[in-house]
């Protein structure tokens, strides 16, 4: 079978690099994790602040739309009131 015959090309330096990586990884990974924690925390804080700002903006837009709808409704009722009054007297 051709699959079993495949062997990656490796030399002495590849083995040395893998060995050094395995020796250094237990030291480097916790250092990276400790350094990444404040960055992740800051990103989460920014996300929460953006979320809250978005909620405030949506609430303000909803309030404006409600006000416009109420104004339009009152104008329509004011325009229809004289028409209704004429219809009763005729």
Backbone φ and ψ for 4, nearest 5 degrees, come out as -75, -20
What pLDDT, on the 0 to 100 scale, is given for residue 85? Answer: 64
Q: What pLDDT, on the 0 to 100 scale, is given for residue 88?
A: 57
Each residue's pLDDT tens digit, 27-69: 999 999 999 999 999 999 999 999 999 999 999 999 999 999 9
pLDDT score of 81: 84
Q: What is the pTM of this model?
A: 0.52
Residues 32, 34, 40, 42: is their CA dihedral positive or negative?
A: negative
């Amino acid at each position: 079978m051709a699959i079993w015959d495949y062997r990656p090309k490796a030399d002495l330096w590849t083995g040395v690099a893998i060995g050094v990586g395995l020796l250094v990884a237990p030291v480097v990974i916790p250092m990276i994790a400790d350094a990444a924690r404040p960055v992740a925390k800051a990103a989460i804080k920014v996300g929460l602040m953006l979320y809250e700002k978005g909620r405030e903006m949506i609430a303000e837009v909803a309030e404006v739309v409600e006000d416009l709808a109420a104004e339009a409704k009152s104008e329509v009722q004011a325009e229809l009131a004289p028409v209704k009054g004429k219809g009763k007297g005729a």
